[in-house]
Chains A and B, each alone.
Chain A
């Protein structure tokens, strides 16, 4: 990613030290901060980090800015609820539902990948809104009332844990996030990542040097949709309820995109950083300042987004890395 290649010998420490510190902080978080409130923030932040990691594959690396990712998150939420109701283990639902979401992604890509820039973004916005406008009329999905996840016995296999101590949910989310990050890394490693970045930077130039643009955009949207749907599958097991407003809202679509952008679009740790910051900010302001009936969370979130983009459009990851950046 960085422009200047530094000899591997001198960065070996830096590269792994950062990873180890992040991993350690994430691992001890629920042990140090034991309140249910703080652990819930952790669970939600990791869930959104998974969704934003998915968004980042398409939006950050391939440069196709989607404002319709709630469709895939909703696919995960509804799909898992239906299959769990039919007697499946939540874990077994994740992969088939993710494949379904990938199929939806490809179907959405077919008409929209001909469009560039704003045109693509508005089309995804419209598709997301269309799904949201249809859902309240779909009876098998509970229409406006939504669906509840059936009551399951506590246990890992059922992805159902005690609600008093949220650390079990937290570590499950952390595990899923680690898997999602690993899958993304494997996916982007080598040729695919370079192709996607070439498409982002200049689609015509990429096509001219022989990058199969169309095919790689399809790979990106499929992977992106699948990861986001996994986040939805986990989320519905945590909140045990899904309805049109909670699964496919425009604000969910934009939250997924904005979390990735605030953290750093096209960077590996952007989604994680963005999710923690945004979710913590949102939950704190909601809890401690909403008693007056005047919410400030939206206002602060909006100001934060504007500020980040004005200071450094590449996101907080770059801002945080600035003091440590090598001057060349």
Chain B
């Protein structure tokens, strides 16, 4: 029983990070109607930014969060302006392929710069913290990443749903032509969606390096989990993506307890099951 509780707890904490990763992807999809296959690799880049802050300036990962968030927002804007905007009017194939090219390029560039050797941040502030409640232990890294992920996800959801600019973002996602008639600059909204996604990957990446190793493929799992969370939650639904991310974390935690080799299989299996029963996702409308 304690084992199960521990697995559930670990799952919830992992799921919080999946949720944050998925929310950024969902935002870009909802607004630009385009899947960014390199999303997980932006998280990987953020992990390296956090690592550089630590190794060059001695900055703790928690303090590196704003640095990584700003850096990744700039990187995302650069990507948007350089390679995404030119293909906005192109075929869906071109759009998908260009982000696959980006994925390959980011992995290759980071591998070129840092080699494939795994890096790790030594002794982060949260490293020694460990809280045990009735046999269930929670590490400081888990607490920090879950809290950070919840705050960031909440802030993003609040921005999109409750502010004027956020509503403009949603309007562009639903009908760019109609939105531009209302005086909304669609191009600026697209750029904003990418920048916000960049911020979310920046936060996610610097939270992750408290407990995860850093290598050029480190973003792959988080990328895959965010696609599945977004597809599972319903494309474009931010809340759906966040909930699905949590669910995936819990599934991985619990399945890992009983069948350690099948965590990924189980997460993918749930997605495929939902696909058959409810193709539009848990909260999708289409």
Contact = CB atoms under 8 A, between A and B. Distances in A.
A254 B100 contact: yes
B112 A296 contact: yes
Given A121-B35, A125-B227, A295-B112, A313 B105 contact: no
A127 B269 CA distance: 9
Contacts of A129: 224, 264, 268
Nearest to B109: A299
Given A119-B235, A121-B35, A122-B231, A305 B104 contact: yes
Contacts, number: 132
Contacts of A137: 261-262
Interface in A173-192: none
A258 B279 CA distance: 27
A114 interface: yes
B42 to A, nearest CB: 14
Interface in A31-79: 59, 63, 65
Contact of B108 (A123, A125, A296): A296
Given A65-B92, A121-B35, A133-B268, A299 B105 contact: yes
B106 interface: yes
B269 A302 contact: no
Contacts of B269: 130
Given A133-B268, A295-B108, A310-B87, A305 B97 contact: yes
Given A296-B112, A305-B100, A122 B93 contact: no
A134 interface: yes
A71 to B, nearest CB: 13
A63 B96 CA distance: 13
A261 interface: yes
Given A115-B279, A306-B83, A133 B264 contact: yes
Nearest to A294: B112
Nearest to A306: B101
A147 B23 CA distance: 41
A265 B97 CA distance: 11
A127 B105 CA distance: 24
B261 A136 contact: yes
B96 A121 contact: yes
A310 B265 contact: no
Contacts of A119: 231, 235, 279
Interface string A275-314: 0000000000000000001111111111111100110010
Q: Which of B102, B108, B269, B271 has the most CB of A within 10 A?
A: B108
B135 interface: no
Interface magnitude class on chain B: 35 or more
Given A65-B92, A299-B109, A130 B83 contact: no
Interface string A245-282: 00000000010011001000100000000000000000
Nearest to A265: B93
Contact of B101 (A121, A127, A302): A302
B183 interface: no
Nearest to A117: B92
Contacts of B107: 298, 302
Q: Which of A130, A257, A296, A301 has the most CB of B within 10 A?
A: A130
Given A118-B96, A121-B35, A300-B108, A293 B102 contact: no
B87 A126 contact: no
A310 B95 CA distance: 10
B275 A115 contact: yes
B103 A302 contact: yes
B228 A126 contact: yes
A298 B108 contact: yes
B197 to A, nearest CB: 16
A258 B97 contact: yes
Nearest to A143: B261
Nearest to A123: B275
Q: Which of A63, A115, A118, A305 has the most CB of B within 10 A?
A: A118
Nearest to A251: B104
Contacts of B35: 118, 121-122
7 contacts: A65-B93, A118-B235, A127-B268, A265-B93, A302-B108, A305-B98, A309-B97
A299 B112 contact: yes
A111 interface: yes
A114 B235 CA distance: 16
B265 A133 contact: yes
B181 interface: no
Contacts of A130: 264-265, 268-269, 272
B105 A122 contact: no
Given A261-B93, A305-B101, A133 B276 contact: no
Interface in B81-123: 83, 86-87, 90-94, 96-98, 100-109, 111-113, 115
Contacts of A65: 92-93, 96
B97 to A, nearest CB: 5
A146 B276 CA distance: 32
Contact of B105 (A111, A254, A261, A302): A302
Contact of A293 (B109, B115, B228, B272): B115
A133 B102 CA distance: 25
